[in-house]
């Protein structure tokens, strides 16, 4: 594939109708997740003949698509989720953006989509954050959520990889995805999320579409979230609809399922495994039997459980439920000390309160 240049110049086209400052301040004071958007978006086009071209930061507006665009029929769509944080000294940073860029490339490869060079991905995010810097909220748990995504735009109904794509980044100010307590999680025995050789490790929209019925099912059982098991035997823990999962055992070991291609390789997951080592915990990436978790919660061997991801950060799990019963961690309501300690360290790195010893912070302004 051809590329006009590895990192194209972004044309900056400020909106002629920016949100007035006082209205913006109201909007970002208490943002719900994913409902309020900034004034601009980053857009870069791709065609097989021109490569990536026409990079712009422009007013956020609807995208016009031909009704035959491949994304609307065969779901060639991938996305990322990341955040920009306002630090104590007023600078704005992102967390390991090169990891998002790498995962985006891996998702694109799995979905037979155009390869987007890392420099374009990071530049698009940086330029958008610079432009909409006033939308980055201040305060604990608040950030600017960034949603880079790519869609297949070629107008063609044949089933084949498209020859034209659009890469877009939009942004929204967000507060905490979950409250400060514990969540309850339904173990799905009716639906699975991914099979070996499938798309579980790619961040493609189709995975999320397929998970929604299971998420709805979890709510009908009175739970907040769903936990998927492996598709072969329904025996091993995989991950949640939009988060990875970890357990703390009584031998001070943090355990989480291995990356075998059916779960998303979370960037938060990776960071927490490193921070856990720094905290003196042992870590194990190993298949975890769901029956062992239920038995271990009852015996006290499994002391804590939490979900982790960019949106969830670290969200303690109070209980897991399935048809045959419930596994309660601690008293089921109070977040465990280790979960809270890891969350504190991670969020302090992201907000610039703790030394970034691992070099995870990327300064934008």
Ligand X SMILES: Cc1ncc(COP(=O)(O)O)c(C=O)c1O
Pairing of strands 313-322, 325-328: antiparallel
Tokens matching residue 44: 């870069």
Minimal distance in Å, beta carbon 98 to ligand X? 13
239 is a site residue for ligand X (CB under 6 A): yes
351 is a site residue for ligand X (CB under 6 A): no
From the list 182, 267, 317, 338, which residue makes contact with ligand X (rule: CB under 6 A)? 267
Stretch that binds ligand X, among 9-17, 213-221, 236-244, 313-321 (CB under 6 A): 236-244
309 is a site residue for ligand X (CB under 6 A): yes
83 is a site residue for ligand X (CB under 6 A): no
199 is a site residue for ligand X (CB under 6 A): no
Contact 82, 94 (CB under 8 A): yes
Residues 6+ positions from 293 with CB-CB distance below 8 Å: 237, 247, 302, 305, 320, 327
143 is a site residue for ligand X (CB under 6 A): no
Q: What angle do CA 242, 246, 250 make, to 5 degrees?
A: 160
266 is a site residue for ligand X (CB under 6 A): yes
Nearer to ligand X, 99 or 138 (CB): 99
Nearer to ligand X, 243 or 328 (CB): 243
316 is a site residue for ligand X (CB under 6 A): no
Q: For 135, phi and psi rounded to 5 degrees?
A: -90, -5
243 is a site residue for ligand X (CB under 6 A): yes
Minimal distance in Å, beta carbon 67 to ligand X? 29
Minimal distance in Å, beta carbon 260 to ligand X? 14
Measured between alpha carbons, how far is 175 from 346 in angstroms, rounded to an integer?
Answer: 16
Contact 8, 53 (CB under 8 A): yes
101 is a site residue for ligand X (CB under 6 A): no
From the list 76, 184, 244, 319, which residue makes contact with ligand X (rule: CB under 6 A)? 244
Contact 84, 128 (CB under 8 A): no
User: How many chain residues are in contact with ligand X, going by CB under 6 A?
Assistant: 12
Measured between alpha carbons, how far is 3 from 11 in angstroms, rounded to an integer?
Answer: 17
Contact 222, 283 (CB under 8 A): no
310 is a site residue for ligand X (CB under 6 A): yes
242 is a site residue for ligand X (CB under 6 A): yes
Distance of CA 256 to the CA centre of its chain: 17
Residues that bind ligand X (CB under 6 A): 81, 239, 242-244, 264, 266-269, 309-310
């Amino acid at each position: 594939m051809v590329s006009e240049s590895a990192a194209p110049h972004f044309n900056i086209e400020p909106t002629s109708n920016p949100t007035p400052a006082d209205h913006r301040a109201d909007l970002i004071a208490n943002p719900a997740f994913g409902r309020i958007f900034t004034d601009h978006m980053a857009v870069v086009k791709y065609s097989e003949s021109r490569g990536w071209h026409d990079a712009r930061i422009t007013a956020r507006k609807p995208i016009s698509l031909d009704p035959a665009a491949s994304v609307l029929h065969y779901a060639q769509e991938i996305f990322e989720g990341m955040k920009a944080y306002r630090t104590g000294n007023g600078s704005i940073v992102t967390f390991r953006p090169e990891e998002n860029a790498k995962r985006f490339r891996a998702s694109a490869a799995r979905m037979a989509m155009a390869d987007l060079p890392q420099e374009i991905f990071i530049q698009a995010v940086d330029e958008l954050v610079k432009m909409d810097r006033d939308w980055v909220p201040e305060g604990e748990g608040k950030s600017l959520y960034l949603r880079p995504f790519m869609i297949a735009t070629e107008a063609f109904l044949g089933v084949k990889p498209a020859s034209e794509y659009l890469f877009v980044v939009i942004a929204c100010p967000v507060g905490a995805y979950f409250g400060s307590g514990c969540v309850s999680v339904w173990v799905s025995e009716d639906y699975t999320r991914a099979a070996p050789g499938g798309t579980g490790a790619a961040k493609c929209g189709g995975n999320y579409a397929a998970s929604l019925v299971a998420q709805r099912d979890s709510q009908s059982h009175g739970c907040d979230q769903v936990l998927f098991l492996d598709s072969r035997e329904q025996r091993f823990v995989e991950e949640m609809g939009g988060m990875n999962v970890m357990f703390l055992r009584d031998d001070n070991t943090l355990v989480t399922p291995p990356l075998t291609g059916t779960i998303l390789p979370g960037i938060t997951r990776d960071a927490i495994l490193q921070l856990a080592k720094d905290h003196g915990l042992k870590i194990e990436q190993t298949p975890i039997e769901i029956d062992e978790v239920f038995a271990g919660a009852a015996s006290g061997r499994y002391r804590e459980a939490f979900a982790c991801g960019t949106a969830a950060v670290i969200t303690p799990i109070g209980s897991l439920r399935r048809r045959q019963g419930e596994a309660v961690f601690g008293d089921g309501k109070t977040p465990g000390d280790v979960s809270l300690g890891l969350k504190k360290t991670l969020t302090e790195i992201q907000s610039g309160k703790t030394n970034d010893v691992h070099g995870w912070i990327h300064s934008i302004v």
